[in-house]
Structure 1
Amino acid sequence: MLVAANKLIGTPILSMQAGGAIGRIIDFIVDPDTLKIIAFRLEGPVINRNSNILDVSSVREYSNFGMVIDDTDELVAPDDVVKISKILELNFSLISLKVETKKGSKLGKIINFTVTSEDFTVQQLIVKRPAIKSFIDPELTIHRKEIVEITDYKVIVKDEEKILKEKAAKEDFVPNFVNPFREQQPDFAPADTETPAGKDN
């Protein structure tokens, strides 16, 4: 299942040990090398501000009710996990990064992205178009396979025309089936009852 990143914010964290919610997600940490959320930053009345990082490997289950973990012992400090610590030092965030093609054409800025609910791998970038292009395409959805390179300031993708063609193909798709309930119905209108000319009433 695909989940929008902005929908993850505010998700309750449910502890098996506590038998209920212990906090909620306030931010996510994305690895720019793998394009995957590797941890979440939490807050809550029982969560220590110095140990408020949840590694995704500690998530037992994700559903509409929240994320399930074993206990608050699963939470770590920012410096406890080397990989997480290094990415935090980069201060990397996908949101607001510029998106350009290899040829330098500016496509816009990332305003959201989707991840898989199984392993939180980024699948699609939601890009807000520049003002000049927004009249035709306010937003673009770019699949991860179109990404060529990621820097501190921008995401470089493949050819713009290919992306637009793929979008148009999806929008023009028509299901190849016939609905029998929408076929033309026979005309049951009554026949003309007007008395033929020359006949008596």
Structure 2
Amino acid sequence: MLIELEVLRKLPVAALADEERIGTIQEVVLDPDSGELVGFWVQPTGWFTARRALSSRDVVSYDTQAIVVQSEAVLLPPEEIQPFKSVVRRNERWVGKRVETESGQRLGHVSTLVIDTDLEILAKLHVSSLFGPERVLARTEIVRVTPAAIIVKNTFGTASAQLAPAAKEVAA
């Protein structure tokens, strides 16, 4: 299933074992190099509870209404999940990063992302610029990712890189 980043944020997290809501997604954590979905920052239910880390490996199912896990026990301190710990320490974000072609043409900045929850990886980038149209680039168009920019193939005008529709919808 393809889900936009904004939809994943603020989704409730439900536990199968307790059949109840155990928290809310605050932030999605993606590997800054590969785009792999590493996990989530979750705000557990209850007053004055510190946020916890949820590894994507512990997710039983994804839905546009909720993320389901086995139990509340999978919400851990971030230092207990190795890939999560190292990615969070780098503090690099996909949204807002500059996008340019291999030849150096600037296309704009990442405005949002689409995540493939079946493969648990970045599927598409929405790239917007101040004066140009918004573009949707498939993950396969990415050549490399640096701390400052995402470099994409020079073929951004082909079928794999489309102009985004006026309505924000995610095409499967």
Q: Write the letter of the residue equivalent to 2:91.
A: N
1:169–1:107 Cα change, 3 Å: closer
Confirm or deny that 1:28 pairs with 2:28: yes
Q: Write the letter of the residue equivalent to 2:157.
A: L
The count of corresponding residues between Structure 1 and Structure 2 is 163
Where does residue 80 of structure 1 map in the other structure? 80
CA RMSD of aligned residues (A): 2.1
* Paired residues of 1:13 and 1:68 also in contact (CA < 8 A): yes
Where does residue 158 of structure 1 map in the other structure? 153
* Superposed CA offset, 1:39-95 (max 9, x none): 100113249416x10001100011233111111111111111222111111001100
1:154 and 1:168 map into 2 onto residues whose CA distance is: 20
Query: 1:164 aligns to what SS in structure 2?
Result: coil
2:69 and 2:113 map into 1 onto residues whose CA distance is: 24
RCO higher in structure (CA 8 A, sep ≥6):
2
* Superposed CA offset, 1:96-148 (max 9, x none): 000011111100000101111213210110001232xx2xx2x0111111111
* Paired residues of 2:136 and 2:162 also in contact (CA < 8 A): no
Query: 1:92 aligns to what SS in structure 2?
Result: coil
Where does residue 169 of structure 2 map in the other structure? none
* Paired residues of 1:125 and 1:141 also in contact (CA < 8 A): yes
Confirm or deny that 1:144 pairs with 2:142: no
Q: CA deviation at 1:17?
A: 2.1
* Paired residues of 2:127 and 2:136 also in contact (CA < 8 A): yes
Where does residue 185 of structure 1 map in the other structure? none
| Unpaired stretches in structure 2, ≥5 consecutive residues | 166-172
* Paired residues of 1:107 and 1:130 also in contact (CA < 8 A): no
* Paired residues of 1:124 and 1:143 also in contact (CA < 8 A): yes
Where does residue 100 of structure 1 map in the other structure? 100
Query: Within 5 A, what are the aligned runs for 1:8-157?
Result: 8-46=8-46, 48-49=49-50, 52-131=52-131, 134=132, 137=133, 139-157=134-152
1:169–1:41 Cα change, 3 Å: closer
* Paired residues of 2:24 and 2:45 also in contact (CA < 8 A): no
Q: CA deviation at 1:163?
A: 1.8
How high is the TM-score relative to the length of structure 1?
0.75
Where does residue 183 of structure 1 map in the other structure? none
Which has the larger share of strand?
2
1:170 and 1:70 map into 2 onto residues whose CA distance is: 37
2:63 and 2:72 map into 1 onto residues whose CA distance is: 19
Query: 1:65 aligns to what SS in structure 2?
Result: coil
1:80 and 1:124 map into 2 onto residues whose CA distance is: 30
| Unpaired stretches in structure 1, ≥5 consecutive residues | 172-201
How high is the TM-score relative to the length of structure 2?
0.87
Q: Write the letter of the residue equivalent to 1:129.
A: S
